Structure 1
């Protein structure tokens, strides 16, 4: 079903191509590959843009539509299968085709042939370059992540299908340096996923620096993030590095990013794009190597529409989104979570069937945090008894 089976006449590549201009986005860190395509697509019919990573590609796609996306599987920041799945979800009108060099020739593959892909394949064949389809296994991986037996992640309890998806995405992105945006209602455990991304990454032995953007006054947040020089403001009796610099080599977790003041968002965006920070009162740009994970329970897209959150920062953060389900969507995990909390708070007592049934019927608007609080309270009420009964469960 790949492009090798597309029928096109031998004269197609010889005819001048007509029709509206086609925008092609080439996503590859390979400069030679980009140069070859630039030469092959030097025709008014084809408008070529280039991106060196998955992050840069998403920036292009959000700025304007691209009919075709030629993907080099050797991306520096994202797995090609997950990148393709994200493009299919966010930009369904963009066709993704894999592209790489093999024995000196361009190898092009697509799982969904169209007239455009056939036209491009014919153009590449004009110089004897081959067009092959991906294997059936590779085709499947472009559109779905296989689920089934998925290994859990540190500190997180649950075996429901929604959580298995979260585990797989977390393990997938942890190996890369892509920016991660964790979303979900308050109390779903976004901080645990952020910690897991760090612990499962090559940066695990380096610092994990956490800053809650909602807990620090706006007047102090910039100094906390970027640091300051001696005398930069009243009270700055000595120079200090910021949290970003303190995370050098490791991971910076920006919790409650939706509460970050607009005045700071442009500086965070610059740091993300340039990998540099400038302390308050300083003139030197300090290079830092930091992987960023952000989390929020706020609807960032709505905040963008309301001009309360920068659109370009949103798309820069949301390179790899992970959505945490509310507890009511993973009811099969209530028993496991309850048992783990009982073991932590009251190891001498057991949760009775009647008490567990009461827990499983509750809607849990406060999510896992609410369940934790209920069982911590029950562990106090049970005192020296050996069983946690329904009257110990205060909802």
Structure 2
């Protein structure tokens, strides 16, 4: 449970916050002045502070400076009235996570609180590297002793203490965010902000203002100046996840940030100097994106000063036993249960599966299997059931077709319930293919046979073999 400290001299506001946040599942501490707030910080382990600008005695800015000296990674949200917005902006530039104007909208405030807690967790939760599962000191670790993972550890060690821009590449689920956090936590900026921006999760229309901020009147609804995430991270690190999906229109601004260390807020003309380190990640083929005009070549070279490649799990299968033991230990502890272990047959099954979802999929499978296995060692049935449930049930676009087919075939091989596996799978696929072709042609067998490259008698025999029931919508062509 996260603990939040409210520092505000308004008794009613503190009570309202206490009621709201406890209902949301948070633990709440409160203080009526900056001095008493600092006293709480000295005695309690906190996850976040919500701080008013106007306070008796020490004002909000002085209180923030003191908090930052004691706990530089403790996220602080500033509350301010319109008249003191500039003070809040100044605090944000000094490292406060964000500022909220009074009176505020409760849903918006809860969103910012959640974001601040997540940012604090990223900054303060260490990421262990190159360790065995029983030696990890945190809930999050980069596990693996394979040769590709040794290269990853070396790359992190070499680049962390520099200010070089880093591009982390790899398939979804390989652990790119953990690597970004490891680089940050071993860097000279480790006591300064670390902010994560997912370029896919934020709509294109909002991403520019989220990153660069905006001036009052920049667009309809811009009632005051807003500092963007890049300014908030001054002195620290910005992690741009899924940068391959960043809108082309914003890429020039990102290039300017890297080259000139300056930005302009949306609707503004002032050049604002910022000191941030950029770590970016993508699962996209940026070279193809450049060729197709979706990604700037100059930005590509600015980002890839150092490139860290994360291998898919199938390329480091020797790490699967280590990862399995780690996830068993982690999720057993989180669930308040004894570690039930895993059978040798289940281990073999895990080692032979190709893991299209990579480490994320393995983590999910172990966690779900632990929940439903009732304390017994994980068996092949436990693993097979979860993998089967996780596979896509609905058709997706053409880009995912190969992955879907792989997952279906892997499930069949894992369960191994059918005899004559090859013939069974080929018949199953042929049945679907012929059925869809006939639907597409409205039941016209001659057209369907031509589409499939079959003779009409061959198509007819397969329809009989698979006992397909057809509803024809056009008159059969006998020509």
Structure 2 partner of 1:361: 352
Question: Alpha-carbon deviations, 1:283-314, whole Å to 9, x = none?
Answer: 21111110100000000011001111000000
Q: Which has the higher strand share?
A: 1
Asked whether 1:265 is paired with 2:251, we answer yes
Aligned residue runs from structure 1 range 41-120, under 5 A: none
Residue number in structure 2 paired with 1:334: 320
Distance 1:202 1:151 in 2: 21
Q: Deviations over 1:319-351 (max 9, x none)?
A: 111110000011111011111111122241212
Aligned to 1:219: 205
Match among 373, 381, 390 for residue 391 of structure 1: 381
250, 269, 290: which one aligns with 2:276? 290
Do the aligned residues in 1 keep the contact of 2:238 with 2:278 (CA within 8 Å)?
yes
Whether the aligned pair in 1 keeps the contact of 2:130 and 2:145 (CA below 8 Å) is: no
Q: Which residue of 2 aligns with 1:170?
A: 156
2:213·2:266 contact (CA, 8 Å) conserved in 1? yes
| CA distance, structure 1, for counterparts of residue 240 and residue 141 of structure 2 | 19
Q: What displacement does 1:155 show?
A: 2.2
Question: Per residue, is there more helix in 1 or in 2?
Answer: 2
| CA RMSD in angstroms, aligned pairs only | 1.5
| C-alpha distance in structure 2 between counterparts of 1:155 and 1:177, whole Å | 23
Residue aligned with 1:197, SS: helix
For residues 137-196 of structure 1, the C-alpha deviation after alignment (integer angstroms, 9 at most, x for no partner) is: xxxxxxxxxxxxx95697211111100000000110001000000000111000010000
The corresponding residue for 1:38 is: none
- Cα distance between partner residues in 2 of 1:165 and 1:345: 28
- After TM superposition, list the pairs within 5 Å mapping 1:1-395 onto structure 2: 155-347=141-333, 348=338, 349-383=340-374, 385-393=375-383, 394-395=386-387
Q: Secondary structure at the match of 2:318?
A: helix
- Quote the Cα distance in structure 1 between the aligned partners of 2:166 and 2:268: 29
Q: Deviations over 1:334-383 (max 9, x none)?
A: 01111111112224121222211110110011100110111111011112
> 1:235 deviation in Å?
1.7
Cα deviation for residue 386 of structure 1 reads 3.3
SS of equivalent to 1:371: helix
Kindly indicate whether the alpha-carbon contact (under 8 Å) linking 2:130 and 2:143 is maintained by their aligned counterparts in 1. no
Aligned residues: 245
Normalised by the length of structure 2, the TM-score is 0.50
2:195–2:238 contact (8 Å) kept in structure 1: yes
Gap runs ≥5 in structure 2: 1-128, 388-479
Work out the CA distance in 2 between the residues paired with 1:284 and 1:362.
Answer: 55
- Deviations along 1:1-36, one digit per CA (max 9) or x if unpaired, are xxxxxxxxxxxxxxxxxxxxxxxxxxxxxxxxxxxx
**For 2:279, what is the secondary structure of its paired residue?**
strand
